Structure 1
């Protein structure tokens, strides 16, 4: 087993990003994140939209600088073909808030 995976150390920009936000909810195909840094920060909103929107496996990204919310919608079967995104989804599944 890879030591980096065992320690869960971020190894990519996407990995680092997902660990910097609160994972509010997860359903296969729909993830809601919250970022305190996004609230009131339109420049960061543009960057988040561009970075996440660059993945063809992600159907849509909705952001709000009022609430700091990021809503990501995707087809799970399509997303899971991308190893990096599959790894991020697995992280999200295990770290989403339980309600």
Structure 2
């Protein structure tokens, strides 16, 4: 079934950007503006994957500090929310994360 702009529902689920692709493989545990905790099963016990994630996230200039633990699969990202939101793609990613977080300390506007 096509939506109003002509794309099928399945197409909408296909990652289109690097952040989209990355987010498909993580569980969002916690969100508050400026601080996000993710868990990635692929990262657990895989130090080489930790290096790949670092190389992937490092070029994103709006990212602040990233801490990863390959034993637990935990990824903690701290950032300046105001600065990050200047990038439209990253602002969209932040909204997605906010909606998927198991714990969210920011109000979700409906």
Higher helix share: 1
Same fold (TM over 0.5): yes
Runs of 5+ in structure 2 lacking a partner?
105-110
Count of residues paired in the alignment: 98
2:21 to 10, 16, 22: 16
The alpha carbon displacement at 1:8 in A equals 5.2
Runs of 5+ in structure 1 lacking a partner?
none
Instruction: State yes or no: 1:90 paired with 2:95.
Output: yes
The alpha carbon displacement at 1:52 in A equals 1.0
> How many Å separate the matches in 2 of 1:81 and 1:42?
32
Alpha-carbon RMSD across the aligned residues, in angstroms, is 1.9
Q: Are the counterparts in 2 of residues 53 and 60 from structure 1 also a CA contact under 8 Å? A: no
1:70 to 75, 87, 95: 75
The alpha carbon displacement at 1:20 in A equals 1.4
Q: Are the counterparts in 2 of residues 45 and 63 from structure 1 also a CA contact under 8 Å? A: yes
Whichever of the two has the greater Rg, that structure is 2
Deviations 1:8-41 (A, max 9, x none): 5421121021121000000100000001110111
**Secondary structure of the corresponding residue to residue 44 of structure 2:** coil
2:52 to 47, 58, 71: 47
Q: 4+ residue stretches of structure 1 with deviation over 3 A?
A: 1-4, 6-9
Deviations 1:45-82 (A, max 9, x none): 01111111211101111000110000001000000001
